[in-house]
Chains A and B, each alone.
Chain A
Amino acid sequence: MDYQSAVLPAGIGWLLLAIFSVVWVALGIHWGRKAKDLTGFMVAGRNVGLALGTATAMATWVTSNTVMLAPQFAIQFGIWGMLAYSTASFGLFLFAPMARRIRHLMPNGFTSGDFVRLRYGKATWAVFLVITVFYSLTWLISMAMAGGIVLNTIAGIPYEYGMSVILLVCVLYTLFGGLYAVIGTDYIQSVLIMLGVVFVGGVMLSQIELSTVYENVLADQPALLNILLPASLMVIFNNLLFGFGEIFHNNVWWSRAFAMRKGIGRKAYLLAGLCWLPIPVAAGFFSLGAAPLGINVTSPDMVGPLVATQVLGLAGAIIIFVVVFSSLASSIDSLLAATSDIMTEDIFRKALYPNASEATLRKASAFIIVGLGLLAWLVSLPRIGTLMDVLFFAGPMVASAIWPIAAGLYWKTTNRTGALCALLLGSAGGLVAYFLIGPFVAALVGAALSMLMVVISTWLAPEDFDWELLNEKHHEPKPEAELV
């Protein structure tokens, strides 16, 4: 890949990385003291308030893509590209009432897997676990790779070192602090991201007129202003459905719903969506403003760093570094925690060792976090290329989960066979569409087939599900001494 040269001297990049690493791990150790038991470690005591709840939902959804890829969308797909990227926030909006419902129906729940198992039985649970673990691993690996690439492009830090450090830091503070550390650092990261974007954008506005930006685009690339640019319209739908599927099914979001205090979930997710919505548009402005600022962009994903450096010099480069580090860490830590939770709770405890003690489960969780970090590191190290194709590949599988999850939460008549078939048919059909038509329709086809299956099976063979069955009375894992 041909990148324009780094905007930040490597020495400063390393210094910033070192400072953040030490501070974040220290915070992990400090907040980890609050996690007195498994409930504390996995769902932060189920008492997270509105501020931290909003911040963690928003920060987790901000990845390095939001800041680095959104400008690229603006260059490729124009105004609709920026707006299309923003539609990913709709997943947060739609999950808001679901977060409340989840908390109400499952006051003792830990994972999205718990819901699928209790609602639809073991067969559907098994298929769901395959989908969600595969997707989560892919996402985690893609974030680790993005970390290495981005730190290399911004500060010239060698890919292997940057990727390794950011992964190690996230593993360490997640290991020490569990969801408390993840949520606490997410708060700091979300404020840093938003302030960074606003500051750079604000300084840009002081140096160029918006009318000049518009005239520039109109003269050079009028297609970017086209209201009916077909490619953009396809991107909107694919982004929307991918976002819904990802947020509805993934334990990253469910664990937060379980972690938030009662009455907080709906408000937090709504506010998180509102906080997230404008960020891709603001980031897209960076790329539209590049030409009037006299910046010649040859690597579209470097637009953000280049613009920030142009308007603010070294300070701008530092701000971008901090914003990107924050967006990477906020996603990697969430994936580590949520994936380890689902593997500990669903596979280790529920499937294999139902009588495992508290200490055994904490140990299992720790091993799994380290194991996930190691796996991500090993796969990322050779830098095999972009994982976007693999992520799109997972799109139909993830989209196939939208209707079984949504219907399962609200319709007591949706039956388990219908849900299982919806997952299988949606995934298979979507994958066929992926290969025969293209990646951008795969999620749409997967979601549509899944929807048809859920609706038809519910109509033909309505169940009468007892919602009380979701209120699983966990026997709390016994302390080690009592098992002897």
Chain B
Amino acid sequence: MTLFSAGFVQAIILGSLFLTGLGALLLIVLLAFDFKNKKVW
């Protein structure tokens, strides 16, 4: 059985948490920009 390495598993878990947090931040920043430019909807 060929297994995923510990490093790979750790990388995807840490990466997923990081990207999820980044996604939330991105949405907040994007909304701030849209508000500033009056382009929300």
Which residues on A are within 8 Å of B, measured CB to CB? 34, 44-45, 47-52, 54-55, 58, 79, 82-83, 180, 183, 187, 190-191, 194-195, 197-198, 201-202, 205, 210-211, 213-215, 218, 222-223, 225-228, 261, 271, 274-275, 277-279, 281-282, 285, 288
Contact = CB atoms under 8 A, between A and B. Distances in A.
22 contacts: A48-B41, A49-B41, A50-B30, A54-B27, A54-B30, A55-B27, A58-B23, A79-B4, A82-B12, A194-B27, A198-B20, A198-B21, A205-B17, A214-B6, A214-B9, A226-B4, A228-B1, A278-B15, A278-B18, A278-B19, A279-B16, A288-B13
Contacts of A79: 4, 9, 12
Contacts of B26: 54, 271, 275
Size category of the binding interface on chain B: 20 to 34
Given A49-B34, A278-B17, A194 B41 contact: no
Contact of B41 (A82, A180, A211, A222): A180
Contact of A282 (B9, B17, B27, B40): B17
Contacts of A180: 41
Contacts of B13: 210, 213, 281-282, 285, 288
Contact of A279 (B9, B10, B12, B20): B20
B41 A183 contact: yes
Taking chain A's interface residues, is the majority helix, strand, or loop, or is none over half, making it mixed? helix
Given A50-B33, A227-B4, 6 more contacts: A47-B41, A49-B34, A183-B41, A198-B24, A278-B17, A282-B13
Interface in B24-41: 24, 26-28, 30-31, 33-34, 39-41
A287 to B, nearest CB: 12
A448 B18 CA distance: 37
Contacts of A45: 41
**A-B pairs, 6 with minimum CB distance:** A281-B16, A278-B16, A51-B30, A275-B23, A194-B24, A51-B31
Given A214-B10, A281-B12, A285-B13, A228 B24 contact: no
Given A214-B6, A227-B2, A228-B2, A50 B21 contact: no
A450 B3 CA distance: 36
Nearest to B11: A210
A201 B20 CA distance: 10
